[in-house]
Structure 1
Amino acid sequence: MLRTIFGKNGTETPEPVKADIEGSVPDWLQGTLLRNGPGLFSLGDRTYNHWFDGMALIHSYTFKDGEVFYRSKFLRSKTYKKNTTANRIVVSEFGTMIYPDPCQNIFSRMFTHLCNAIPDFTDNNLINIIRYGKDYYASAEVNYINQIDPETLDTVGRANYRNYIALNLATAHPHYDEHGNTYNMGTSIMSFGGPKYVIFMVPSNTSGKEGHLALENMKQVCSVPCRSSLFPSYFHSFGMTENYIIFVEQPFKLDLLRLATAYFRGINWGTCLKFDQEDETVIHLINRTTGKAVSTKFYTDALVIFHHINAYEEEGHVVFDMITYKDSNLYDMFYLDNMARESEDFTKTQEKWSPPVCQRFVLPLDIEKDTPVDSNLVKLRDTTATAVLQKDKSVYCQPDTLLVGLELPGINYKFNSRKYRYFYGSRVEWSPHPNKIGKLDIVTRKCVEWTEEECYPSEPVFVASPGAVEEDDGVILSSVVSLNPEKPPFMLVLDAKSFTELARASISSTVHMDLHGLFVPQQDPQ
């Protein structure tokens, strides 16, 4: 039953559809919520194996004068065009490897094998929407991004990071500073001197209009050598404070030799990620201005992370929060066969699925030379996180657990890189099917929730009220789908402070479950 909403082919709604409103959408809420996620899972007689393989479907919810309009379009990537032209899946994705037609002759098949030894990844950008300069791009974790028009959702351009900077992989979760500049990072696999992690910045005033891509003005902030030349760390996001970049080099690693030979071995790229539970997790702290890493080695136990929540500096410490796992089984949970299972099935086998844990780490910035070994260097009073000095002058960090069972975190982004109190997320416990959204008060450690039977809300997005001073003065937006055909999909609008429902905008079209997105405020007329 669950596969009917999580693994079923979606359809486009290319023209705006006016939603039916119950309740009242605040008049001040003016702009468009862009959402991205997988929406097409089979063509012809072929079906993808994994939910993260489905071809990207871009959604928009436009809020104007108390009304809501919905539209959606498939991303017209090269991958989409090749697949739809052939009416079958012909481009490999992370969890689905596609092989040449068996009727091809042996020479053609050998040539294809050689071309795939160093893979040119798909441009099926299904994870998030990124703003670079004045432009918006659908993104995944590869070297390609596709530019979209945020109003029409048309695919208007395609960019390859490698044309501007040596990157094979890049995150879909950048940061934006107070000036509108975009910071992001990626991995350079084929680089002189071995693989490196590269952090870069795209200025806020650049645009892709008239053939000039925003990426043309990107600047490299720094690079960090990988600890292992054959096993670079996988990462999905990173942290940023006023003065520092936080990069967590986790023991969830990409096996480069396995990646290069995946085609020959008959395995998908997803199997090239391996978690080494015997290894440690190293935390890199990099000065945003100088590009130089702090010399102290900070480390913690083996863990897996996908999403950072927020980070800030306080009284000589860097504080950062993220969602951690004790293993790497989360990716396996999203194979379509697993997603078709009911939540009760996951409960029975919960020892296999590690729950998300919201944890706080604290790094001391100034360590005096005469500090005794085994001293806890954390002086903050509102956390139990520790950072203990070792004999070799490294610092072993242990986190403070904030909550278990919240993922896809979001904050009031005006508090990004600042001390904050609240974050919002999807409540996921022992299945991949979120049926609640929550708001955590970090001070009280209390979580309030919104839930409704047979409903599955997407990642909550915070939009601040005009002139808001209090951190939770605003609304939460979440796209909700249902198993019940009598319940149409709707955009949920919650009061962020009380977590009570203000409105729901029901859509008379098919809406598919999505992943991440971005709210684009309405621009004031010039």
Structure 2
Amino acid sequence: MTDSTPYNTYFVTEEDLQYVPPYMKNTGETPQETKCPIKGSWPKWLAGEFVRVGGSKYVVPLSEDGSKPAAVLQHFFDGLGSLHKFRFADGQVHYTSRSNTDGVVRNAKRDGIVRTHMFGPNANTPLRDAQDPCSTLLGESQSLYMPPGHQEPDVLNIQVMPRRGMHLPKDENPLSRGTAASKPDEEEIIVHTDYNYLQVCDSKSLEPKRLLTYADIDPQLSGFGICAHPPKDRKRGLTFNYLISEEGKLSVFALSYTSKPASLVWKTVLPCQPCYVHSLAITDKYVIFIRNPIHMDVSDMGKPVMDMLEFEPESKTLFFVLDKENGKHVRTFAAPNFMFFHSVNGYDYVCPKTGRTNIHVDLCSYDCDYCPYREYTLSNTLDPARPFQEGTLVRYELAGVDGEGSSKDHTGRATIAQAFRDFPMELPRINKAYTTVPSYRYVYATGGNGGPSPGTLVPVGRLGKNLKCVQGAFFSRIAKADWQTGKTQVWQPEDGESCPCEPVFIARPGAVEEDDGIVLTIVVNREGTQSILIALDGRSMNEVARAMMPQVYGLGPHGSFIEQKSMYP
């Protein structure tokens, strides 16, 4: 690699994993529920379960007897997934964790290669380069591996977003485990990812039960694409997502998650080229599909997925506005080139000056020339080629969605109404009761990707030769942004604790103020031997309580709080 290379992608060996932070290598599991030692006061009103995904294995054995060298997964997104559950009751915290990808390891020992979807460099490549006899089994499409036919529920690495379960069609797969839940919203968790597979897990034991695709819900939903964050309209009982058909047509669809089973409500083909999108946005009346200027180049199936994602520097970023009720394509707007991964919130309102409906879409925007996810390889974590790219919290305005002269065939201009330009933010979350509410104020997010973490003994960048790129932790702070004042509040771990993950806000029952509640995040201790669940006051951002986990939490992107029905009467 040269100094001008923006990120490193060389293979990290098992030996060099000793320099990788503990939250990005193999971690244990705690299958039997354990009561966590606590400090501070966990609120008695907190009743429910906080479920997070995480990466539990980066080293995968390729034989039963250890006769072959292990494969090392090379990207943050490729650590084999696990589920972590915190149960809250009467001011106490109980913890459980379990791998949801044991089948990947089981098959790797049998086949001598890793067979699962890989975002980063193909972990099997060193085998091929070394002329291993198993190299004949290595298809060039291994990084996009999708198994045909019936599958066991744990043979794919699905580990982006866990959510409450819903009623699904009858399971015809003889390899599934357990029985269908009579109350899936209480008894099952569905794990989402950025391709057309869903994994159903038992909410109590966390055991994987079933793999299915959206096509199992409705045959019209075959294809690929799919965002891991289908926005949820709780009032209408709908979620919204996109897919790309085998013919290359991109569609947005609405799914009823309250029907028994879940069912397709509408599907709308959009007039744009296929692209990669991680999340959609909604307002009270509309669904907004934002076409990222990123497409997947599949001309060389031997490349990692991260290198197949080709940035389009000359393309504008397009906003397609659809009516929630029927899927009708209402308007299209365009903005100067940017890319994003996570939308934050959206709302529609009547402009007092024009009397027409405007839309605000809030998201974490990147102004860059390549996909930032390419930087999240293990080699670039150990040896950053340059500081990580960071997102900016931006509010885009789509003016005049309705009224005279508005037409889906006329592309309007998307403008920037507001931005937090001086503070990087990513993995944004809000008080979910304020979804699509125009008066909402607060966004909680991670801040400072790769930023300093004073006192930690487990820094990233240990092998870096450029000291300006040697940082303290993969994530460094938690930030709270206030749209009304334009100010931010910051919480940073102390005493050498580091790497707070995505913050999740939980509102206090009966709260009147939007930020009256707690914010959950997880940090690793100074030595990297144990992780800690932290509760912050949603208003002051001061720590109010903590729970000591019996293990290290393998860092994952997202989590969900699933409240008991009695919590919000």
Q: Quick one: which amino acid aligns to residue 257 of structure 2?
A: P
Listed as ranges, the matches of 1:282-301 within 5 Å are 282-294=318-330, 296-301=331-336
Q: Which residue is equivalent to 1:48?
A: 73
1:356-407 CA-to-partner distances (Å, cap 9, x unmatched) read: 1111011123566589xxxxxxxxxxxxxxxxx9xx9532222131343011
The match for 2:195 is 142
**8 Å contact kept, 2:392–2:419:** yes
1:158: which partner in 2? 211
Structure 1 partner of 2:542: 500
Paired residues of 1:58 and 1:72 also in contact (CA < 8 A): yes
> Structure 2 counterpart of 1:186, which letter?
Y
Q: Where does 1:28-67 land on structure 2 (aligned, <5 Å)? A: 28-44=45-61, 45-67=70-92
RMSD: 2.9
Aligned: 1:178 with 2:230: no
Which residue does 1:417 correspond to in 2? 436
> Is the 1:77–1:123 Cα contact (8 Å) retained in structure 2?
no
Per the alignment, do residues 457 and 13 of structure 1 end up closer, same or farther by CA in structure 2, a change over 3 Å counting? same
CA-to-aligned-CA distance 1:219-256 (integer Å, 9 cap, x gap): 1422233523xxx111000101111001101211112x
Amino acid at match of 1:364: A
> What residue in structure 2 maps to residue 310 of structure 1?
345
CA distance in 2, matches of 1:418, 1:156: 36
1:398 aligns with 2:454: no
Cα distance in 1 for partners of 2:435, 2:291 equals 22
- Give SS of 2:437's match: coil
| Structure 2 counterpart of 1:218 | 263
Q: 1:407 aligns with which of 416, 426, 429?
A: 426
Taking the aligned partners of 1:370 and 1:329, their CA distance within structure 2 comes to 36
> Counterpart of 2:305?
269
CA–CA distance in structure 2, aligned partners of residues 519 and 226 of structure 1: 36
Q: What is the rounded CA distance, in whole Å, between the counterparts of 2:371 and 2:268 in structure 1?
A: 29
Find the residue that maps to 1:456 and give its secondary structure.
coil
Amino acid at match of 1:21: I
Match of 2:12 in 1: none
Runs of 4+ in 1 over 4 A off after TM superposition: 84-88, 99-106, 112-119, 366-371, 429-432
**515-524 or 197-206, which moves further after superposition?**
197-206
- Please, which of 109, 114, 120 is the counterpart of residue 146 of structure 2? 120
Aligned-partner residue type, residue 127 of structure 1: V
Alignment correspondent of 1:484 = 527
Runs of 5+ in structure 2 lacking a partner?
1-17, 62-69, 148-154, 167-184, 351-356, 452-472
- CA distance in structure 1 between the aligned counterparts of 2:538 and 2:238, rounded to whole angstroms: 26
Partner secondary structure for residue 57 of structure 1 = strand
Q: Distance in 2 between matches of 1:114 and 1:306?
A: 27
Contact 1:422 1:441 (C-alpha < 8 Å) held by counterparts? yes
Q: TM-score with structure 2 length normalisation? A: 0.77
Q: Do the aligned partners of 1:221 and 1:288 also contact (CA within 8 Å) in 2?
A: no
What secondary structure, in the 3-state scheme, does the structure 2 residue paired with 1:82 have?
Answer: helix
- C-alpha displacement of 1:449: 1.2
Of the structure 1 ranges 141-150 and 95-104, higher mean CA displacement relative to structure 2 is found in 95-104
Per-residue deviation at 1:273? 0.5
Distance 1:85 1:104, change over 3 A: closer
CA offsets 1:41-83 (integer angstroms, 9 cap, x no match): 0123210111101110110111111111111100046434423
Q: 1:78 to 1:197 in 2, by over 3 A?
A: farther
Residue-pair matches, total: 475
Contact 1:329 1:354 in 2 (8 A): no
Counterpart-to-counterpart distance in 2, 1:154 and 1:105: 31
Contact 2:445 2:478 in 1 (8 A): yes
Q: Distance in 1 between matches of 2:500 and 2:41?
A: 19
In terms of mean alpha carbon deviation, does 73-82 or 362-371 score higher?
A: 362-371
Q: How does 1:436-475 map to 2 (within 5 A)?
A: 436-453=477-494, 454=496, 455-475=498-518
1:427-473 deviations in whole A, cap 9, x for unaligned? 12455711210111111111111112432111111111112221111
Instruction: Determine what percentage of the aligned residue pairs are the same residue.
Output: 25
Tell me the residue number matched to 1:129.
162
Letter in 1 for 2:445: G
What letter corresponds to residue 509 of structure 2 in structure 1?
A: P
79, 86, 106: which one aligns with 2:104: 79
Deviation per residue, 1:253-280 (Å, 9 max, x gap): 112x42xx41xxx322221101011111
Alignment partner of 2:203: what SS? coil
- 1: CA distance between counterparts of 2:45 and 2:143? 53
- Shift in Å at residue 91 of structure 1? 3.4
- Alignment partner of 1:188 out of 230, 244, 253: 244
Equivalent residue number for residue 378 of structure 1:
none
Residue number in structure 2 paired with 1:376:
none
Which residue pairs with 2:367 in the alignment? Answer: 326
1:360 pairs with 2:395: yes
- How many angstroms does 1:132 deviate by? 4.4
Q: How many angstroms does 1:2 deviate by?
A: 6.2
Aligned partners of 2:334 and 2:413 also within 8 Å: yes
The offset of 1:103, in angstroms, is 6.0
TM superposition shift of 1:7: 2.6
Specify the alignment match of 1:383 in structure 2.
none
Residues in 1 aligned to 2:88 and 2:47: alpha-carbon distance in whole angstroms:
5
Q: Alpha-carbon deviations, 1:20-49, whole Å to 9, x = none?
A: 111100000011100002221012321011
Structure 1 residue matching 2:562: 3-state secondary structure: strand
Cα distance in 2 between the residues matched to 1:247 and 1:56: 28
More strand per residue:
1
Alpha-carbon distance in structure 1 between the residues aligned to 2:404 and 2:89: 59
Separation in 2 of the partners of 1:123 and 1:370? 49
| Residue pair 2:25, 2:55 contacting (<8 A) in 1 also | no
Contact residue 37 and residue 514 of structure 1 kept, 8 A: yes
Which residue of the partner structure matches residue 248 of structure 1?
290
Q: Is the 8 A contact 2:287 2:323 kept in 1?
A: yes
Partners of 1:180 and 1:84 lie apart in 2 by 46
**Contact 2:332/2:412 (CA < 8 Å) preserved in 1?**
yes
Could you state the TM-score of these two structures normalised by the residue count of structure 1? 0.83
Return the offset for 1:488. Answer: 3.5
Tell me what 2:5 maps to.
none
Return the alpha-carbon distance in structure 1 between the equivalents of residues 55 and 259 of structure 2.
Answer: 31
Letter in 2 for 1:417: T
Q: Distance in 2 between matches of 1:502 and 1:406?
A: 23
8 Å Cα contact 1:6-1:51 kept in structure 2: no
